[in-house]
Structure 1
Amino acid sequence: MPTLNKIRTAILRGQRPVSDTLALSRLRTALTLFFALDGFLFAGWVVRIPAIKEQTGASAGGLGMALLGVSAGAVATMMVTGRLCQRFGSHPITVAAAFLMSLGIALPPLTHSALALGLVLLVFGAAYGGINVAMNSAAVDLVAALRRPVMPGFHAAFSVGGMLGAGLGGLLAGHLSATRHLLLLTAIGLVVAAAAGRALLAHPAPGRAPRTGAAPETTGGRTTGRERRLIAVFGVIALCTAYGEGALADWGALHLEQDLSARPGLAAVGYSAFALAMTVGRLSGTALLERLGQTRVLVAGGATAALGMLIGSLAPTVWVAFAGFAVTGLGLANIFPVAIGRAGELAGPAGVAAASTFGYGGMLLGPPAIGFLADWFSLPVALTTVAALSAMAALIAYATRRAGVPTRG
């Protein structure tokens, strides 16, 4: 009876029973591992792009076309993944996509032409797009159950994974071939996916409580025209900022090597500086959102990223470029999580899928665009487009500040 009384008292006070709290905590830990694994594998791939470029003999434009395979595979599967999550649940889809991504990362070093590289990157891209929609959908449900804006924390795990993946890549670049390095990442990925997947599948996704004042359409399967327009706005904001993340991931190391004469190991650390700064920004994201609100976080973040990327792309030395990359990471840190989270609040997995298609489309279409611009002008000039789009994201967020989207916290 004392236990029952404690549960009853907790419910009356708006608190959760201990069993529910433990279940949510385990779900949060499992999802955090999947976000970290996603960043770890993706960063492990991107720091070996210079080696893959040399192996295939591709030009900057040819490499850009090959990288389009990641974009095509991801964008093609995102909307499908949203529907699969609605039908089968976001947890099983997250686990399946993690296994596919772990296997797909071993394929690029087995190719010897830009065409073959582009084809195998379709598989890697499909898994990358699938896991990002599925785990973000699961995170939106968990954030709603926790009733706190903790979405930046999950994306901080992605950044931690990216930092570790890039750091490990920098350490191994001079000792292991790209083939052995990426096979090692496959083994790590399969082990983590199996362990975290077991915990994720053991708990069903928490139900999403209706928002206060929400119309019936926002809590069901159909969205209103106004909500679809808002989702598109969030998607464009995500696109503008994710473009920068993808550009730094795929071209940052090459910029440091090619334009600033950095050694391969030091060039790989450049992405780690960006990922570390983004991690710091996201770890403080919940506190910033609770204190400043979403509009101020979005506007300040976009402006900061624009300034940082101008410094990073036009820097005269490696160390100034590192500083620019770090400032860019701080600026971009919380924009993408906020945009994806708000779209998910509006329409569940369908909203996450739609905004993610915009956002990850920007992340994955950006690198090929940078490649073409680098061929026509130069790589530093091409990277200044990241600053332009970051500033655009800030302007869009400010212009739509009175769109009437309800906020929490």
Structure 2
Amino acid sequence: MPNTPTTYPAGLSRREVVAWRNGIFTIFALCGIGIASWMARTPAVKAALDVSTAEMGILIFAIAIGSILGLLLSSHLLARFGAIAVMSACFVVAPVGLVVAGLAVTLGQLYWVAFAGLAIFGVGMATCDVAMNLSGAVNERILGRTIMPVFHAFFSFGTMIGAGLGALAELLHVSIALQAGIVSAVMFAVGLLAVRMTQSETVLHVPDETDAAAPDGWRSRLAIWKDPRTLLIGLIVLGMAFAEGSANDWLSLAAVEGHGVDRPTGAVVFGIFVTAMTLGRLTGPRVLDRYGRVPVLRASAVLAALGLLIFIFVPVLWIAIVGVVLWGLGSALGFPTGMSAAADDPRTAAARVSAVATIGYCAFLVGPPLIGFLGEHFGLLHALLLVLVLIVVAGVASGSARDRTKTL
């Protein structure tokens, strides 16, 4: 059992540290709600804009474009303004983008205005992703116990809520503009309140060349990309994010086309994966605190790889579902543990978290079309073998995530 500190840096009380933790819980959940509530209405958006599937794919890609821009800017914004200011700005920028997209779809069928709105939304969400992971990692360090996987579990809860809200809005025939307005208002109001509950990440700050005040601050932050440890942690996050993202995008369809189930059953199979991953994140802190990052990451890679092999090659449905459970459990801890490892050194935390998050996001951006291309030529089940390769790479790179703050 880890020892919980009785005193905290910068004179913070336990009440302030716990409030900070709860604020980060809320921020993660709000981001999940915002993204999932929009994605749940994708068929309605396509119908309202009267566009082809290819044009819809381009529209969805707007979020990816905005996300890349947000990720590239995030370390510099965090160094200049700090996580609190950045997260506050994100809960203004992202809701504005969502409202613009909703109005463009509902009121005018303005395709390129919707594209611009979603790009703005992507900038806000991706920048907030880095800031909340940084703030969460510092809070984890101050609490003295692993909690990052639980933060990510709250994002999963948020996606469940968001998907439910989208389904309810569809059932009640709520316009996309009205839904976007309501969700945006909640994100703005609750998000800003949650940010006020957090503390500055500089409570563990050790001044060095990454300070914004340093003449070569930008150059130093970009130099983090040359650090082998950054790239190796990035590979862990990339492989496990690919394992998670491929399931989000293709598992339901792969179950239908590869195992011959009907579409409702395919949706249930995906629900089983999400449930297993969420449970893995909720139980992850205890496992990580007991066994350490490296053994847990290696075991996670083995579980995910075994689960994928079962799902791909075993034609018996109930056994394939066991594989899905293992796949979900194995995918649960890679991304959050990578974020914790990236933030080990307070001096380089913002730059390294930003770099690692950028590498990880490549899986979410490149993965769906790549799996789709391979699936078109070799079948979806066999296309998932690419995911297996990246999981193995993540397992091999796991040693780079060792907690250096515990190394004498």
- Whichever residue aligns with residue 82 of structure 2, its letter is G
Structure 1 match to 2:16: 23
Q: Could you tell me whether the CA contact under 8 Å between 2:233 and 2:356 is conserved in 1? A: yes
**1:199 equivalenced with 2:197 (yes/no):** yes
Whole-angstrom distance in 1 between the partners of 2:403 and 2:386: 29
In terms of mean alpha carbon deviation, does 219-228 or 131-140 score higher? 219-228
**1:163 equivalenced with 2:157 (yes/no):** no
Matched positions, count = 386
- Whichever residue aligns with residue 58 of structure 1, its letter is S
Shift of 1:121: 3.2
Shift of 1:286: 1.6
Q: Could you tell me whether the CA contact under 8 Å between 1:244 and 1:363 is conserved in 2? A: no
Whole-angstrom distance in 1 between the partners of 2:253 and 2:75: 34
Whole-angstrom distance in 2 between the partners of 1:318 and 1:96: 47
Query: Would the alpha carbon gap of residues 93 and 253 (structure 1) be closer, same or farther in structure 2, given more than 3 Å must change?
Result: farther
Shift of 1:57: 4.3
Structure 2 match to 1:248: 247
Shift of 1:298: 1.1
Shift of 1:35: 0.8
CA RMSD of aligned residues (A): 3.7
Whole-angstrom distance in 2 between the partners of 1:340 and 1:361: 15
Q: Which runs of 5+ in 1 are unaligned?
A: 1-12
- Whichever residue aligns with residue 30 of structure 1, its letter is G
Secondary structure (helix, strand or coil) at the match of 1:149 reads: coil
Structure 1 match to 2:277: 278
CA deviations 1:283-334 (Å, max 9, x no partner) are 2222111222111111111222233344556786987766544432211111
In terms of mean alpha carbon deviation, does 351-360 or 15-24 score higher? 15-24
Structure 2 match to 1:8: none
- Whichever residue aligns with residue 394 of structure 1, its letter is G
Query: Would the alpha carbon gap of residues 376 and 351 (structure 1) be closer, same or farther in structure 2, given more than 3 Å must change?
Result: same
Alignment of structure 1 residues 305-320 onto 2, 5 Å = 305-312=304-311
Whole-angstrom distance in 2 between the partners of 1:110 and 1:181: 13
Structure 2 match to 1:390: 391
Whole-angstrom distance in 1 between the partners of 2:253 and 2:55: 15
Alignment of structure 1 residues 144-159 onto 2, 5 Å = 144-159=141-156
Q: Could you tell me whether the CA contact under 8 Å between 2:341 and 2:402 is conserved in 1? A: no
CA deviations 1:25-65 (Å, max 9, x no partner) are 11111111001111222233333334445655433x65544
Shift of 1:240: 1.6
Structure 2 match to 1:348: 349
Shift of 1:110: 4.4
Q: Which runs of 5+ in 2 are unaligned?
A: none
Structure 1 match to 2:231: 232
Secondary structure (helix, strand or coil) at the match of 1:345 reads: coil
Whole-angstrom distance in 2 between the partners of 1:94 and 1:235: 23
Q: Could you tell me whether the CA contact under 8 Å between 2:224 and 2:352 is conserved in 1? A: no
Shift of 1:14: 6.5
Shift of 1:114: 8.1
Q: Could you tell me whether the CA contact under 8 Å between 2:344 and 2:404 is conserved in 1? A: no
- Whichever residue aligns with residue 386 of structure 1, its letter is V
- Whichever residue aligns with residue 199 of structure 1, its letter is M
- Whichever residue aligns with residue 83 of structure 1, its letter is H
- Whichever residue aligns with residue 359 of structure 1, its letter is G
Shift of 1:250: 3.5
Whole-angstrom distance in 1 between the partners of 2:173 and 2:315: 31
**When the two structures are superposed, what TM-score results if normalisation uses the length of structure 2?**
0.79
Query: Would the alpha carbon gap of residues 402 and 249 (structure 1) be closer, same or farther in structure 2, given more than 3 Å must change?
Result: closer
Whole-angstrom distance in 1 between the partners of 2:313 and 2:183: 33
Whole-angstrom distance in 2 between the partners of 1:392 and 1:349: 25
Whole-angstrom distance in 2 between the partners of 1:231 and 1:364: 20
Structure 2 match to 1:7: none
- Whichever residue aligns with residue 200 of structure 2, its letter is P
Q: Could you tell me whether the CA contact under 8 Å between 1:298 and 1:394 is conserved in 2? A: yes
Whole-angstrom distance in 1 between the partners of 2:201 and 2:164: 33
| Percent identity (aligned) | 30
Q: 1:90 aligns with which of 83, 89, 101?
A: 83
